[in-house]
Chains A and B, each alone.
Chain A
Amino acid sequence: MKFIPNSELKKEMLKDIGLKDIDELFSDIPKQIRIEELELPDGLSQQETEKHLRKIANKNKPQSELLSFLGGGIKSHYIPAIVKSIISRSEFYTAYTPYQPEASQGFLQAMFEYQSMIAEITGMDVANCSLYDGVTALPEAALMCCRIKRKTGFIIPRNISYEKKCVLESYGKGSSLQIKEIGYDKKTGKINLDELKKAVDENTAGVYIENPNFFGIFEDEIEKISKIVKDSNSLLVVDVDPLSLGITKSPGDYGADIVIGEGRCLGNPNDYGGSGLGIFACKKEYLRQMPGRIIGLTKDSDDKRAFCMALQTREQHIRRGKATSNICTNEGLNALAATVYLSWLGSSGLEDLSKINFEKGQKLAEKIASIDGLEKVFSGTHFNEFVIKCSTDADKINLNLLKKNIQGGIVLDKWYPELKNCMLFGITEIHSDEDIEKLISALKEVS
């Protein structure tokens, strides 16, 4: 059998250990529930497998066949060839968690560099080497605030990702976490500061904002937000789009205590939403409450520089029931991709890329808003996503776009009923002027 070298040596090996039949190795399994065989098809050869998968793959339309303007926490970005080339080195991708540092120096050093660059772009002191995704990073941050402040309240605004809110609520069921939602300003799309002021109280452990928020709008009243949070003796958790940080201040520069984010955009494909890369960084003083794996620089017995996992006493394999989180397997390879990607971009590349995304975002919004029957909903400055209100049925518009092989924006009223017939459009560096024109002329026809 494929991948099973000892298939032919079964008899010889059994004899070697004094057994006659393979079933003797399973004699301790209750007879009445043993099965003869699984009801699955026979195995396919590699060639047959490829053919079978080709047939299934052809039922999909990837970005190259379907011009898409989707965002909502995940967008298509260009991935330079170097990323795949490096992460395909099987010394990296076929390794386990680096429990044996002496045999894992390469991965460990790369993760140390990942942490360094994430701390640098977020303006935090320290970062871990990944959580599952930006979505699950939120409940981990909320629970961390509660541990630090020994309080249970956590405030989220309504202008954040709906999926994130749902996941936070699910995680909250396991703890005494009390989630309070505050609204957003209907005109600007930014969080409502009056509501925030009223919502914070002595039980507030943390306040969460997204910058840019789910509607693509920058929360620019950050000094005020930060002050309200500090005055209430709670922690500020900020989610960022890492690719916006080339042109915007790092959250650490405006008072964030914990910074999270979806790092998939740093060299990882969309993969239909999985796997992602949960960015998690914080101030040094909270280090010992941080979830997830952390890599440290140390020495070997010759006093030479070496790397290994640090602060493992926070983790489940040591701490068991008292760990800061149950996470074990994380998204190491995606963090490696992000490391390669950021090294390739450099600070100048990141700055340029942020600028391109910002400019394309402005351009597309302007063009769409100039079409009759379509208008920009929020006045706040946006990054590379924005909300458009349609004068007719948004779902219908999308269906008609689909007929032209264009995937329009996300129709928002399923999550935000107040935003009837509104769509969230996203654009990145992959979209050319031609792509923009194609969407605009199609929208003119169907809206």
Chain B
Amino acid sequence: MYHSAKYNEPLLNELTDAKVEKIEEIKEMPKSLHRTRKIGIPNLDETQVVRHFHRLSQMNYGIDSGVYPLGSCTMKYNPKICEQIASWEKFANTHPYQDVSTVQGNLQIMFELERMLCEITGMDYFCLQPAAGAHGEFTGMLLTKAYHEYKNDTERTEVILPDTAHGTNPASATMAGFKLIEIPSNDEGTVDLEALENTLSEKTACFMLTNPNTLGIFESDILEISKMVHKSGALLYYDGANMNAIMGKIRPGDMGFDIVHLNLHKTFSTPHGGGGPGSGPVGVNIKLEKFLPVPRLCKSRDGKYFFDYDAPESIGKIKGFYGNFSVLLKAYIYIKMMGKDGLKEASEIAVLNSNYMKKKILNSKKYDMPYKQLRKHEFVLSCEKLKQEKQITAKDVAKRLLDYGLHPPTVYFPLIVKEALMIEPTETESKKDLDKYIEALIKIADEKPDIVKNAPNNVSVKRVDEVGATKNPILTWDMI
């Protein structure tokens, strides 16, 4: 059975006796700013530091450790070549304010990436500035605002979302100053057209949608939805978190979406880095172009790239410099390697893997799957039956999977599925590994409740008291 490394690794400040000492003052410095005591960071040897972080790394699970089917997170393999090239000095050691003639390579990468993302999504223009998906959503919401204000349509203060929306959607819309209206999904797990029709009004600024949605179900009524939304004068926003399901099959632009954000750290295989950096470029159709953030990237007739800041209707800047360039570069390399057929196949196999797992797990009758059967790249199981019969919750199943050396799915999301396990295998997992995962899920359902409820036992710590961490927050060395 699987066992991960388990060290009782001390904290850095416990590796040595950190002494608080006085420090030498610098005469030329203004007196009021003199530092008088040493900063409380320990002085260690390089060996100590290396071993400390090396041990910590061994108590961490990444996609290189094994299957990582977090729903809506698209944890696919991150090609090593992308990391290697992005760390080349020629890219990594360039400064954003260098004369543009000395960074034509960087600008070419960004320019071509914008064009490639336009083609993949069916949008007219792209802006690479947002640092993450949520940042892209916020940018999209500011674009929405600017669009309506430009048309003197200032009463449009509401954003509509389905109850299956990602948490960032309502948070981003609120940050942009919009009022939220959540509409319930229908019995199929998709947008309830009647509810949407009744909610749309002259106050609606935008309808935010993920397609396929977070249940992994494709919104087949999308053309109808698009018509309704546009008829009411609102815009249609595409949350691209689930783009990995549809590349080369259908495009958000063709579905009628006006604004799209992508998560390069999901669909385009740049690593998540334990939480970031990511990148959340935003694409728009032509009617929103003039509102895009500055600077815009341009190419002159003689093939030289440059930045254009002259955009009077622009929403302005939303991040320092031009975006998370190192992430953009990795995504560019990924797309170049995959090519048109590779991207299409990635989506096809991501959907095949998902449906394969779904079918095999449902055949076991251990878990249920509410709503429509055909899923795309992800599907959401319910552990409600296990809970009723054996008091085993989704959380218990998740923790037990860790003992099998498997990373759990996303749990308790979307909120409309009870005891939810949201599984997204991605295209980079082999059938063998999928079978192993399926087998573990089925086995766990048959295990004694005691074993499952007391999991995990084979990882670096036992079940962690998350409630305690919030009730009595200890957030630094000094607070211990």
Contacts and interface: CB of A to CB of B under 8 A. Distances in A.
A and B are partners in one complex rather than unrelated chains = yes
B35 A59 contact: no
Given A3-B77, A272-B94, A332-B274, A347 B39 contact: yes
Given A3-B269, A102-B459, A334-B273, 18 more contacts: A13-B353, A26-B250, A70-B95, A76-B95, A91-B57, A93-B78, A115-B475, A116-B476, A116-B477, A119-B478, A126-B473, A166-B316, A175-B175, A275-B277, A301-B462, A331-B277, A333-B274, A347-B42
Given A296-B475, A306-B464, A274 B342 contact: no
Nearest to A165: B317
A88 B464 contact: no
A392 interface: no
A166 B76 CA distance: 36
Interface string A293-304: 111111111101
Nearest to B9: A109
The 7 residue pairs across chains A and B that have the minimum distance between CB atoms: A43-B339, A273-B321, A332-B275, A333-B273, A273-B96, A135-B320, A346-B43
Contacts of A270: 92-96
Contacts of A287: 473, 475
Interface in A300-340: 300-302, 304-313, 315-323, 325-334, 336, 340
Contacts of A198: none
A329 B276 contact: yes
B325 A271 contact: yes
8 contacts: A62-B91, A86-B53, A96-B274, A170-B142, A271-B326, A287-B475, A295-B475, A329-B275
A276 to B, nearest CB: 6
B102 interface: yes
B337 A170 contact: no
Nearest to B78: A94
Contacts of A93: 62, 78, 83, 271, 273-274
B462 A300 contact: yes
B417 interface: no
Contact of B42 (A175, A293, A346): A346
Nearest to A349: B43
Interface string B277-299: 11010000000000001000000
A52 to B, nearest CB: 7
A246 to B, nearest CB: 7
Interface string A213-247: 00000101111000000000000000000000111
A326 B168 contact: yes
Given A37-B344, A94-B271, A322-B174, A72 B30 contact: no
Which of A5, A53, A85 has its CB near the most chain B CB atoms (within 10 A)?
A53
Contact of A43 (B34, B336, B351, B470): B336
Interface in B92-127: 92-99, 101-106, 108-109, 116, 119-120
B430 A6 contact: yes
Given A42-B339, A94-B272, A103-B407, A274 B138 contact: no
B474 to A, nearest CB: 4
Nearest to A312: B470
Contact of A333 (B18, B116, B176, B277): B277
B429 interface: yes
Contacts of B475: 112, 115, 119, 126-127, 287, 294-297, 310
B1 interface: no
